[in-house]
Amino acid sequence: MRYEDEYRRSIEDPEGFWAEQAKAIHWHVPPAKILDYDNPPFRSWFVGGLTNLCYNAVDRHLDARGDQLALVAISTETNLVREITYRELHREVNAFAAVLQRLDVSCGDRVVIYMPNMAEAVFAMLACARIGAIHSVVFGGFAAHNLALRIDDATPKLLIAADAGMRGGKVIPYKPLVDAACAEAASPPAKVLIVSRGLDAAEPKVAGRDEDYATLRAAVGDAQVPVEWLESNAPSYLLYTSGTTGKPKGVQRDVGGHAVAMALSMRTVFDVGPGQVMFSTSDVGWAVGHSYNVYGPLIVGATSLLYEGLPVNPDPGIWWSLCEKYGVRTMFSSPTAARVLKKHDVDYIRRHDLSSLQYLFLAGEPLDEPTAHWITDALGKPVIDNYWQTETGWPVLALLPGLDMKPVKFGSPGFPNLGYRTKIIHESTGEEVGAGEKGVLVIEPPLPPGCMTTLWNDDARFLRSYFGHFKGLLYSSLDWAIRDEEGYTFILGRTDDVINVAGHRLGTREIEESVSSCPVVAEAAVVGVADELKGQVPVVFATLRQATGEAQVRIDAADSMRKQVEHSLGAVARPARIYIVNALPKTRSGKLLRRSLLALAQGGDPGDLSTLDDPNALEDVKRALQRGPEFGG
Ligand code: ATP
Ligand code: MG
pLDDT in tens, 87-126: 999 999 999 999 999 999 999 999 999 999 999 999 999 9
pLDDT in tens, 179-212: 999 999 999 999 999 999 999 877 788 999 999 9
What's the rounded mean pLDDT across residues 544-566?
A: 90
Cα(480) to centroid(ligand 1), Å: 11
> Dihedrals φ, ψ of 409, to 5°?
-115, 120
pLDDT at 610 over 90: no
What's the rounded mean pLDDT across residues 414-428?
A: 96
**pTM listed for this prediction:** 0.89
What's the rounded mean pLDDT across residues 323-330?
A: 98
- More reliable by pLDDT, 201 or 62: 62
pLDDT in tens, 245-275: 667 789 999 999 999 999 999 999 999 999 9
Q: Nearest-CA neighbor of 70 among 305, 263, 268, 265?
A: 305
Question: Residue of the nearest CA to atom 29 in ligand 1?
Answer: 366
DSSP 129-186: HHHT-EEEE--TT--HHHHHHHHHHH--SEEEEESEEEETTEEEESHHHHHHHHHH-S
Our answer on whether the CB atom of 387 is closer than 6 Å to any ligand 1 atom is yes
Taking CA 169 as the corner, what is the angle to CA 304 and CA 201, rounded to the nearest 5 degrees? Answer: 100
Q: What is the per-residue burial (b if ≥16 Cβ within 10 Å, else e) of 441-475?
A: bbbebbbbbbbbbbbbeeeebbeebbbebbeeebb
What does the alpha-carbon distance between residue 369 and residue 372 come to, in Å, rounded to a whole number? 5
Our answer on whether the CB atom of 465 is closer than 6 Å to any ligand 1 atom is no
Q: What is the per-residue burial (b if ≥16 Cβ within 10 Å, else e) of 506-518?
A: bbbbbbbbbbbbb
Percent of the chain with pLDDT over 70: 99
Question: Residue of the nearest CA to atom 21 in ligand 1?
Answer: 365
Our answer on whether the CB atom of 509 is closer than 6 Å to any ligand 1 atom is no
What's the rounded mean pLDDT across residues 64-69?
A: 98
pLDDT at 279 over 90: yes
Radius of gyration of the chain (CA): 24
Our answer on whether the CB atom of 365 is closer than 6 Å to any ligand 1 atom is yes
Q: Provide the pLDDT for residue 224.
A: 97
Our answer on whether the CB atom of 242 is closer than 6 Å to any ligand 1 atom is yes
pLDDT at 439 over 90: yes
* Chain centroid, CA 323 distance in Å: 21
Q: Provide the pLDDT for residue 612.
A: 84
Cα(364) to centroid(ligand 1), Å: 5
Q: Provide the pLDDT for residue 583.
A: 92
Highest mean pLDDT range out of 141-150, 205-214, 510-519? 205-214
Cα(390) to centroid(ligand 1), Å: 8
Q: Provide the pLDDT for residue 245.
A: 65
Type and span of the H or E element at 62: helix 62-65
DSSP 352-403: S--TT--EEEE-SS---HHHHHHHHHHH-S-EEE-B--TTTSS-SEE--TTT
What's the rounded mean pLDDT across residues 478-487?
A: 95
Say which ligand is closest to the CA of 497: 1
Q: Provide the pLDDT for residue 246.
A: 65
What does the alpha-carbon distance between residue 130 and residue 153 come to, in Å, rounded to a whole number? 23
pLDDT at 296 over 90: yes
Say which ligand is closest to the CA of 589: 1
Confidence of residue 590 (pLDDT cuts 50, 70, 90): confident
What does the alpha-carbon distance between residue 384 and residue 547 come to, in Å, rounded to a whole number? 29
Confidence of residue 500 (pLDDT cuts 50, 70, 90): confident
User: For a substitution probing ligand 1, which of 149, 385, 388, 408 has the most ligand atoms within 8 Å of its CB?
Assistant: 388
Q: Which domains, and CATH codes, for the chain?
A: 3-309+386-480 (3.40.50.12780), 502-632 (3.30.300.30)
Q: Provide the pLDDT for residue 591.
A: 85
Question: Greatest CA separation found in the chain?
Answer: 72
Q: Provide the pLDDT for residue 150.
A: 93
What does the alpha-carbon distance between residue 428 and residue 437 come to, in Å, rounded to a whole number? 14
Say which ligand is closest to the CA of 251: 1
User: For a substitution probing ligand 1, which of 137, 238, 242 has the most ligand atoms within 8 Å of its CB?
Assistant: 242
Our answer on whether the CB atom of 385 is closer than 6 Å to any ligand 1 atom is yes
Question: Residue of the nearest CA to atom 15 in ligand 1?
Answer: 389
Say which ligand is closest to the CA of 285: 1
What's the rounded mean pLDDT across residues 279-297?
A: 97
Q: Provide the pLDDT for residue 244.
A: 66
Q: Provide the pLDDT for residue 497.
A: 75
Average model confidence (pLDDT) for the chain?
Answer: 94
Three-state secondary structure call for residue 95: helix
Q: Provide the pLDDT for residue 461.
A: 92
What's the rounded mean pLDDT across residues 309-318?
A: 96
What residues form DSSP beta bridges with 303? 277
Q: Provide the pLDDT for residue 605.
A: 87
Q: Are 490 and 507 in contact (CB under 8 A)?
A: no
What does the alpha-carbon distance between residue 129 and residue 326 come to, in Å, rounded to a whole number? 28
Q: Provide the pLDDT for residue 141.
A: 82
pLDDT at 595 over 90: no
- More reliable by pLDDT, 204 or 277: 277
- Least trusted range by pLDDT, from 67-76, 77-86, 316-325, 486-495: 486-495
User: For a substitution probing ligand 1, which of 422, 465, 479 has the most ligand atoms within 8 Å of its CB?
Assistant: 479
